[in-house]
Amino acid sequence: MAPPKRKTGGRVTPAGTKPGDRPKPAVPSGATGSTGSATRPAAGRVAASSRYTPPTPLSAKESPPWLPVVMLALFIVGGLAIMARYLIFSDSNLPLLVGLVCLLGGLFLATKWR
C-alpha cells in the first residue's frame, strides 16, 4: 500500500476573500490614466479584456448558393476533358491539363462549401 501523500495546510486565498473572488491587480505608484488617477474597475466588476474579437458575420458562415453549382460543373467538365483526351485527342495533352485544372478548381471550391 502506498503511503498517503503529504498534505500542506494553510490558507490559499488571502484573508477576507472568498474562493470565487478575483484579487485586485496591484497598480504601481507611477501607473496613472490620462486624467491623473489610477484606472481600476468599479467594485465587484471584472476589467474588460484588452483584446476585442468581433462576432463572425452570418455571411461568412454560409456559402453562396452558386458555389455547389460551380463546383459540380467543374468536376463534370474536368472529367469530360480527361475522357476526351483519351477518346478524341490522343495526340495532345492539353485536354488532360485542362481536366486536371478543372478538377483541382472543383476540389478547392469543395473546401469552401459550408
pTM over 0.85: no
Q: Which of 3, 50, 41 is nearest to 22 (CA)?
A: 41
pLDDT the model gives residue 62? 86
pLDDT the model gives residue 84? 94
Domain locations in the chain as residue ranges: 61-112
pLDDT the model gives residue 2? 78
| Whole-angstrom distance, CA of residue 26 vs CA of residue 18 | 18
pLDDT the model gives residue 81? 96
- Reading the chain (114 residues) residue by residue, the pLDDT tens digits are 777 777 777 767 777 777 667 666 665 555 555 555 555 555 666 666 678 888 888 767 788 999 999 999 999 999 999 999 999 988 999 999 999 999 999 999 999 988
